[in-house]
Chains A and B, each alone.
Chain A
Amino acid sequence: MSATLESLVHRYLDGTITADEMRRLNSLLQANREARREFAEWLNLDSALAMAAADWFPTEMKAAPVRAGEEESRRLVWLRWLAAAACVALCITGVWWWQAAQRTLATVTKSVGAGELAQGAAMRRETRVIGSGAVELVTARGVRLVIEAPAEFRLESAQRLRVLRGRLSADVPPTAKGFTVVTPSGDAVDLGTRFGVDVSASGAAEVHVFQGEVIAKASGSPTEQSLRGGDAVAMKSGMSTVRELRTAAFIQSGEMGELGAALTAGQRARAEAVQAKLRADPALIALLDFESGESQASAFRTVQGRWPGSRASEFVNVGDHLKLDVGGDREWPQLTLAAWVRLDQLGAPYQSLLHTDGWDNQRPGQVHWMVTKLTTMRLALRGNTLAPGSDEQEMFPDSKTSVLPDQGRWVHLATVYDSEAKTVRFYLNGRFDKETRQAIAHPARLGPARIGNWDRQDRKLSGRVDELLLLGRAMGDAEVRAVFEAGNPYR
């Protein structure tokens, strides 16, 4: 009976079953529970085969990764070739390849300032480029991807994403285990987890695992590497090297809604209006926004800032820094320092926000602004001392609250120094945090300085700095709050 059932099922699946045979199949299934189970398994196999076929990519396409710019000409050549080809087999391949290219592999669920990809857009097997902003996609299997500009990428199947450049964070549910990110210098295969991939313009790629497990394989390398939560590697020319985890380098899915809402609400225009006002402030010493026209002899990357297409500096490697020489040799009785930063976890005891060069007895009042191993913000001035009874754990004024939130997000840090009132005041995201009193309080001194490091000893900052303000007067609480509120990229 089973053999009869099997051949009937095949003909049913093929669509070649006759009316007579269908009646027989129906009566077999009606009569016998075991036959129904067998039938369910055959149909289930058919589903699984269709799913595998949807994710499948023909071998010749796999072997020839498409490089940036090549695709259009490749497609033209391909079509012309097709038209001319007499070979039937090739025609069939072309036809189904074209059909496969029409399938929706993922949907854009959020678009923040990425004009090329609107919310709701269907992602097919095609190369997409975003010049600014970020997009969130959900694949057919439920992988949530956030891709940040500038980026060029292509979904090859619902389970395979090729990234030519750009940054992405991926949140992969168990149903999509095996989701693979292919880069010019290696692959990352997910085993059910959250991770980030950063592909630079040169094609070098970094894989950062936030949670779970990822298999990383550098192109041309015979060995694979298992990465666990907290691990990171850089892949280049067939080699993998261990890196420090940089969670803040990747926009996570949770941020996208807030970033989009702020942009829609016109936050960017508000931020620009406040910037313009600050630029006209007679006490302005410097306002760095990292947009064009500032070429410092420095070592840092330029990446996207808080707004789509805007720029920020990013410090990744030990020694990365930005040189600055402002404020001259004069004394500043009052000084306000503020910056929008996106920090990674602390790898070193100190991370530099702004360090004037050296630490010299002959230059009392020189400024060192940093994040400490206690994850507080510190403002140290050479020669200053704490007032008696202060509760600081070390010898310098520190904020009370940690500056590092659980996940890398944009935060606004500010400190206001007043040598006449002998106070240092700290602000986190516009909120007054704490005031520290000083016994000796020299006027502040600036001059040659570094952002993101110190010239004497490495005090690497790990993360992005966007909009750094130095103002030669003391801002009040309301003013700091207003600067934060106008510049906040979240809503």
Chain B
Amino acid sequence: MSPAENEVHNRFLRLFTAHEPAVRAFVRRLVPMRADADDVMQDVSVVLWEKFGSFREGADFRAWAFGVARFEVLSWLRDRGRDRLVLDGEVALKLADESAELETRLTRQREALEACIEKVPAEQRELLMQAYQPAASIQQVAQGSGRSVPGFYQWLHRMRRALLDCIQRTLTQNPTT
């Protein structure tokens, strides 16, 4: 890379790394599984870098990246979602646009999770983190915890409910943080 290209690449990396979590979460809201989001994100990051030349310096990188991600997700849903159980195209479109507007609130919710996870008893937290490891097998995690698979799913649903409640409570009590 020439020094100028290197500089452009660094600028891209800085912006991309800063906004990657929001873009990933945006993609995640539209595809069924986390692994699908990883798939789409790979394409999104390549397209963002390829099109970075057309990104105007000082413009809103996140909004620009959401636009690129929206297009990639919709085409993914069309192509690879055909024989899978996925959101309808029209629903996905509405969700994409509405959830982009909600992004500030959703970012705060993601940030609030950290403190809520801390409140979960250590043993259960460990189990939850195992279940959310990339490519984790729920069957194995369930067995390891001594629960049946349906029992483990029930427990997981309760954990998610409790965490979302905690997040919403946190944000109601601290509307500005």
Contact yes or no, A50 B88, CB < 8 A: no
Task: Give the interface SS of chain A, mostly helix, strand, loop or mixed.
Answer: helix
> Is B50 close to A, CB under 8 A?
no
Interface residues of B (CB under 8 A from A): 3, 6, 10, 13-14, 17-18, 20-21, 24-25, 28-29, 32-34, 37, 85-88, 90-91, 94-95, 98-99, 102, 106, 109-110, 113-114, 117, 122, 126, 128-130, 132-138, 140-141, 143-145, 153, 156-157, 160-161, 163-164, 167
Contact yes or no, A48 B110, CB < 8 A: yes
Q: For A140, what are the chain B residues with a Cβ–Cβ distance below 8 Å?
A: 17, 20
Contact yes or no, A42 B160, CB < 8 A: yes
Q: For B161, what are the chain A residues with a Cβ–Cβ distance below 8 Å?
A: 6
Stretch at the interface among A10-18, A162-170, A308-316, A321-329: A10-18
Shortest beta-carbon distance from B148 to chain A in Å: 14
Contact of B32 among A12, A54, A91 (CB under 8 A): A12
Contact of B29 among A22, A43, A109 (CB under 8 A): A43
Q: For B28, what are the chain A residues with a Cβ–Cβ distance below 8 Å?
A: 43-44, 46-47, 50
Q: For A49, what are the chain B residues with a Cβ–Cβ distance below 8 Å?
A: 113, 128, 132, 160, 163
Bound together, the chains give a CA A322 to CA B156 distance in angstroms of 65
Shortest beta-carbon distance from A311 to chain B in Å: 29
- Given known contacts A45-B109, A49-B113, A99-B133, is B95 in contact with A39 (CB within 8 Å)? yes
Residue of A nearest to B145 (CB): A89
> Is A257 close to B, CB under 8 A?
yes
- Given known contacts A6-B161, A37-B102, A51-B110, is B20 in contact with A16 (CB within 8 Å)? no
> Is A439 close to B, CB under 8 A?
no
Contact of A175 among B17, B98, B130, B135 (CB under 8 A): B17
Q: What are 20 A-to-B residue pairs whose CB atoms are below 8 Å?
A: A7-B157, A16-B153, A18-B85, A22-B86, A26-B87, A29-B95, A30-B94, A41-B164, A43-B25, A43-B28, A43-B29, A44-B29, A44-B109, A45-B167, A48-B110, A49-B128, A52-B117, A53-B129, A53-B133, A175-B17
Contact yes or no, A36 B18, CB < 8 A: no
Contact yes or no, B109 A41, CB < 8 A: yes
Shortest beta-carbon distance from B124 to chain A in Å: 13
Q: For B94, what are the chain A residues with a Cβ–Cβ distance below 8 Å?
A: 29-30, 33, 36
- Given known contacts A29-B95, A42-B160, is B3 in contact with A261 (CB within 8 Å)? yes
> Is A56 close to B, CB under 8 A?
yes
The proximity string for A residues 98-122 relative to B, scoring 1 for CB distances below 8 Å and 0 otherwise, is 0110010000010000000000000
Contact yes or no, B106 A44, CB < 8 A: yes
Bound together, the chains give a CA A33 to CA B99 distance in angstroms of 11
Q: For A43, what are the chain B residues with a Cβ–Cβ distance below 8 Å?
A: 25, 28-29
Bound together, the chains give a CA A43 to CA B32 distance in angstroms of 9
Bound together, the chains give a CA A100 to CA B129 distance in angstroms of 12
Give 11 A-B pairs besides A51-B110, A141-B21 with Cβ atoms closer than 8 angstroms: A19-B85, A41-B109, A46-B160, A50-B132, A52-B113, A52-B114, A53-B132, A88-B143, A100-B133, A138-B14, A142-B14
Residue of B nearest to A107 (CB): B13
> Is A478 close to B, CB under 8 A?
no
Q: For A40, what are the chain B residues with a Cβ–Cβ distance below 8 Å?
A: 29, 95, 98-99, 102, 106
Bound together, the chains give a CA A37 to CA B100 distance in angstroms of 11
> Is A92 close to B, CB under 8 A?
yes
Contact yes or no, A99 B134, CB < 8 A: yes
> Is A95 close to B, CB under 8 A?
yes
Contact yes or no, A45 B129, CB < 8 A: no
Bound together, the chains give a CA A15 to CA B156 distance in angstroms of 13
Bound together, the chains give a CA A352 to CA B27 distance in angstroms of 59
Closest 5 CB pairs of A and B: A142-B17, A53-B132, A89-B144, A47-B25, A48-B110
